[in-house]
C-alpha cells in the first residue's frame, strides 16, 4: 500500500509537470536591453470588471473593481455573484496585503502580476537581461534561472511571464485593453477579468488602503 501510494504521488507530480508549458526562445532581432517605463494612469482611476476564477477546488465568478492611485497604489475588490463573499487586496509598491482565509487569498495574483493586470511593469530588476524586437513588439527576459519575461506591443504591456527551469509557471496576458487573464500553471488556477468601464476621474480617499 505504501509503495502504491508513493507511485501514485510520483505519477501525479509527473502529470502536473507535463501540464506546465515550456518557455520558447525569444523571437525577433537582438536589441539593447532598454525597457521603457510602463505605468498606471496618473491621478485616481477606477477599473470596473466582471471576473471568473477557477482552480481544483473553486469555480467562482462575479464583478469587482480596482481603484488605482498613481504611481504605485491599488486596491482590488472581488464580489462573488449572489452576494456570497469575495476577496480584497491592497497593493502599495511591491507590498501586497490580502486578508482572509487561504482559499480567498490564493485568488489574488502576486504583486508583479497584479500590477501587470493593470498594465504596469513592476518586476524585480536583474543584471542579466536579454531583449529582442519583433516588429513593434519588444520581448525581454530579465534574470537567469528564474526569469521574468515581458512583451511590450506598441508601447503597451501585453504579457508578463514567470519562468522557472524553462517552464512558464505563471503569467498575465492582456489580450487588449479589456481582457486580462492570469494563470498559475503550477497550481492549475486562472483568474479572468473583462473590464467594463474605466473612470479616470475617480474620487476616493486614503481610508481604502487600510482594512
Alpha carbon distance 38, 25 (integer Å): 24
Which pLDDT does position 1 carry in this prediction? 42
User: CA-CA distance, 159 to 121, in Å (whole number)?
Assistant: 10
The grid cell for 137 is 513588439
pLDDT of amino acid 100: 81
pLDDT of residue 11: 39
**Global confidence as pTM:** 0.88
Question: pLDDT of the chain along its 211 residues, tens only?
Answer: 444 333 333 333 434 445 799 999 999 999 998 888 999 999 999 999 999 999 998 899 999 999 999 999 999 999 999 877 789 999 999 999 998 887 778 899 999 999 999 999 999 888 889 999 999 999 999 998 899 999 999 999 999 999 999 999 999 999 999 999 999 999 999 999 999 999 999 999 889 998 7
Q: Which residues of 177-201 are buried (b: 16+ CB within 10 A; e: fewer)?
A: eeebbbbbbbeebebbbebeeeeee
Instruction: Say if residues 161 and 148 touch (Cβ distance below 8 Å).
Output: yes
Q: In this structure, what C-alpha cell is assigned to residue 99?
A: 486578508
Domains of the chain by start residue, with CATH:
22-209 (2.50.20.10)
Burial of 15 per CB tally in 10 Å (0-12, 13-18, 19+): exposed
State residue 18's pLDDT score.
52
Amino acid at each position: 500500500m505504501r509503495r502504491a501510494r508513493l507511485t501514485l504521488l510520483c505519477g501525479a507530480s509527473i502529470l502536473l509537470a507535463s501540464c506546465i508549458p515550456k518557455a520558447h526562445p525569444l523571437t525577433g532581432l537582438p536589441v539593447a536591453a532598454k525597457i521603457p517605463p510602463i505605468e498606471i494612469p496618473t491621478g485616481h482611476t477606477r477599473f470596473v470588471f466582471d471576473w471568473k476564477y477557477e482552480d481544483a477546488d473553486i469555480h467562482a465568478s462575479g464583478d469587482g473593481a480596482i481603484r488605482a492611485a498613481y504611481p504605485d497604489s491599488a486596491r482590488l475588490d472581488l464580489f462573488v455573484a449572489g452576494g456570497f463573499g469575495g476577496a480584497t487586496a491592497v497593493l502599495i509598491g511591491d507590498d501586497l496585503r490580502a486578508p482572509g482565509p487561504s482559499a480567498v487569498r490564493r485568488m489574488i495574483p502576486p504583486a508583479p502580476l497584479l500590477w501587470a493586470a493593470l498594465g504596469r511593469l513592476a518586476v524585480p530588476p536583474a543584471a542579466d537581461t536579454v531583449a529582442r524586437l519583433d516588429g513593434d513588439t519588444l520581448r525581454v527576459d530579465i534574470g537567469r534561472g528564474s526569469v521574468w519575461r515581458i512583451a511590450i506591443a506598441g508601447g503597451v504591456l501585453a504579457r508578463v511571464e514567470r519562468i522557472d527551469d524553462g517552464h512558464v509557471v505563471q503569467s498575465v496576458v492582456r489580450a487588449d485593453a479589456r481582457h486580462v487573464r492570469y494563470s498559475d500553471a503550477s497550481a492549475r488556477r486562472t483568474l479572468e477579468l473583462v473590464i467594463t468601464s474605466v473612470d479616470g476621474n475617480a474620487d476616493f480617499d486614503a481610508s481604502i488602503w487600510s482594512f
